[in-house]
Amino acid sequence: MIFPEVRLRRLRQNSLLREMVQETHISVKDLIYPLFVVEGDGIKKEVPSMPQVYNLSIDKLIEECKEIEGLGIPAIILFGIPEKKDEVGSSAYSPQGIIQRAVRRIKEEKINLIVITDVCFCEYTSHGHCGIVKKGKYGYDVDNDLTLEILAKQAVSHVEAGADIVAPSDMMDGRVSAIRKALDEKGYKLIPILAYSAKFASSFYGPFREAAQSAPSFGDRKSYQMDPANGREALREIELDIKEGADIVMVKPALAYLDIVSKVKERFGLPVACYNVSGEYSMIKAASSLGYIDEKKIVLEILLSMKRAGADLILTYFAKDVAKYLKE
Ligand code: PBG
């Protein structure tokens, strides 16, 4: 007696049939490529813990964007690394800030990419926290409500420069509605918000903090990022962001949190993004450089698992590689 599932599996030796019954596919159209922009000219500096990921000055960023467009990747997300940082991260919302100038240049060059900007303060503050730090009941911590005002200013300045989507990653409470309100008031009612809704206080961000020079100089982010132990709380956070007006919700990191991706997809039905973060990237790069794993096969399997869990969009440092793999 051969059961139907087994019969299909046997027939999968025929690759045409295998493709007909394949449930999940990766497409280059699912991918968002993260980029780090720095001040200066002619700079393309590799991040030591992230091979083939660079800090790019705006001129080099433009070259990179053209390549990304040519590969058919539809979107990028930009992180800015300013020259000067201060207590309140004031360059984050300056019209002459690094991101604002970068976005303007990409749009002037008429590059056909969806430009998403990361809205957060950790790259801009001298202390490396994601907002304004004040002394609270239990010591120094980020002041949620003061930070909301400057996050809204930052988001508006990105959109004024030409950003297509803003992506708040700070994890302050109420930020999606604060940003939505500020954008609407300025006439940007149609600009979507991609909210980093379930962002866990994860050790997988280590290499990113080196790339973005954004490690906190004291303490950690556990008071505003989520406890990796709390899946139900993650769903409540997502629900709040949706009520506040998020158009796309994100789960971050991806790989160790695919249960959350799957639940979010089932429960809310909104487009779901997941962030295949720096630590996930660096582990694969390290293992494959030692010959322990087959990088291409592992990357494709991991991204497929994110799609299978329910992700519609994947932010990944492997985007360019995957675009090439899919063409082979
Ligand atoms: C905060 C931000 C972080 C990442 C994206 N946005 C770092 C953090 O929360 O410390 C991490 C992304 C990655 O690890 O690839 N602006």
**Nearest by Cα to 186 from 213, 160, 214:** 160
> From the alpha carbon of 216, which atom of ligand 1 is closest?
10
> From the alpha carbon of 315, which atom of ligand 1 is closest?
15
Tell how far the Cα of 76 is from the centroid of ligand 1, in angstroms: 15
pLDDT of residue 170: 84
pLDDT of residue 127: 87
Tell how far the Cα of 214 is from the centroid of ligand 1, in angstroms: 8
- Which residue CA neighbors atom 7 of ligand 1 most closely? 205
Q: Which residues of the chain have pLDDT under 70?
A: none
Q: What is the DSSP secondary-structure string of 167-222?
A: EE-S--TTHHHHHHHHHHHTT-TT--BEEEEEEB--GGGHHHHHHHT---SSS-ST
Q: Which residues line ligand 1 (CB under 6 A)?
A: 118, 120, 122, 169, 205, 208-209, 221, 277-278
pLDDT of residue 171: 81
- Active-site amino acid positions: 199, 252
- Which residue CA neighbors atom 6 of ligand 1 most closely? 169
- What does the alpha-carbon distance between residue 108 and residue 12 come to, in Å, rounded to a whole number? 49
- What does the alpha-carbon distance between residue 162 and residue 84 come to, in Å, rounded to a whole number? 23
